[in-house]
Structure 1
Amino acid sequence: MCRGLESLPSACLERAKELKSRLGSLLHKKQMGLIGQKADMQRQIVVASLRWKESFQELLQDKQILHAFQAFLMSEYSEENLAFYLACEDYTTTQSPSKLPAKAKKIYDEFIICDAPREVNLDHETKIITVKNLENPNTSCFDLARSKIYSLMEKDCYPRFLKSVACQELSRQLAG
């Protein structure tokens, strides 16, 4: 019993056209809203992905960027600073007190002792305090040395990284 459109009264046709137009307008607005939301989400992702450029602490929290920073430090023959910092971070999260002495000795032998394979640049006083702390290893025995190396990276390595060609390329890739 379907009748063709030509058999419908003209008032019904006008009403159908009006509803179609309104529906189309609503759909268009919804699509534009979704497009706007998608653009906002993309902007938020870009901002979040570039947050590491705002502070050194943010860089340390972003695993992907941390790897890029590590590669940069390796190219400058100064990756021992980051390796030491990360080893200290790992050390502070050691759950078993019985494991602390062995881990502390490993960090000391690798990074602090004179002529260590990856010796970090610490002043004499910091070394003395750290050695004294190692007599009774606890999770904070490297805090002073770790803080000094953190400051060194934040004030020296991090700004150089931000100015590097590798960092600028990485920023372009993440932004767009």
Structure 2
Amino acid sequence: MLRPPMEAKDKRRNGDGKSRSKLLGTSSRRLSTRGLSFEEVNQWSQSLARLLESPYGMITFQAFLKAEFSDENLEFWLVCEDYKKVKRSFRLSAKARKIFNCFIRVDAPREINIDHQTRELTKRNLQAPTTACFMEAQKTVFGLMEKDSYPRFLRSSIYKNLMDSRSESFKM
């Protein structure tokens, strides 16, 4: 599975004052579109993985999802990518519980839309956490984004306007 860049992380507080890990990374900063080419923006339409490989593509997709109040799937996917990098087993358990409580458990603050079977499998995986304990949930979420959010993004004014602006600078 492709991994988007994870340059920086920050903490956000949800409504009840508890901190939760955020994928925001570079999204809280503005990236200049100066170096962004028409070809790169056009490549985002080839696949969701291609979109997420591009730092600007990921930020643009995230902005689109935030505007639709549906960024929890991308946030979960990216948090899982970060979780896979944890080297110490004592950290796996604590981090896995936080991810589960934030995204997986029923009525979680950022609950993702996964089937009961995947939710239960993930819950069982937490009894002995490994870097792969969220693998099925992450695959499910990626598939949901690929089939739903990603096509909507490609039809969005955000993407179309960016394509138009890059097309204009390409012609110059």
TM-score, with length taken from structure 2 = 0.74
* 1:3-14 matches, cutoff 5 A: none
- The answer to whether the 8 Å contact 1:134/1:141 transfers is yes
Q: Which has the higher contact order (CA 8 A, sep 6+)?
A: 2
Amino acid at match of 1:159: P
> SS where residue 39 of structure 2 aligns?
helix
Which of 71, 82, 85 does residue 77 from structure 2 map onto? 85
- The answer to whether the 8 Å contact 1:50/1:174 transfers is no
Cα RMSD of the aligned pairs, angstroms, is 1.1
- The answer to whether the 8 Å contact 2:122/2:137 transfers is yes
Other-structure match for 1:133: 125
Looking at structure 1, the residues matched to 85 and 165 of structure 2 have their Cα atoms a distance apart, in angstroms, of 34
**Alpha-carbon offset, residue 91 of structure 1:** 0.5
Gaps of 5+ in 1: 1-44
Which of 89, 93, 97 does residue 89 from structure 2 map onto? 97
**Alpha-carbon offset, residue 48 of structure 1:** 3.4
Counting aligned pairs with the same residue, the percent is 43
> SS where residue 44 of structure 2 aligns?
helix
Looking at structure 2, the residues matched to 62 and 105 of structure 1 have their Cα atoms a distance apart, in angstroms, of 30
Bigger helix share: 1
**Alpha-carbon offset, residue 49 of structure 1:** 4.1
How many residue pairs get aligned? The number is: 132
Gaps of 5+ in 2: 1-36
Looking at structure 2, the residues matched to 154 and 91 of structure 1 have their Cα atoms a distance apart, in angstroms, of 21
TM-score, with length taken from structure 1 = 0.72
Where does structure 1 differ by over 3 angstroms across 4 or more consecutive aligned residues? none
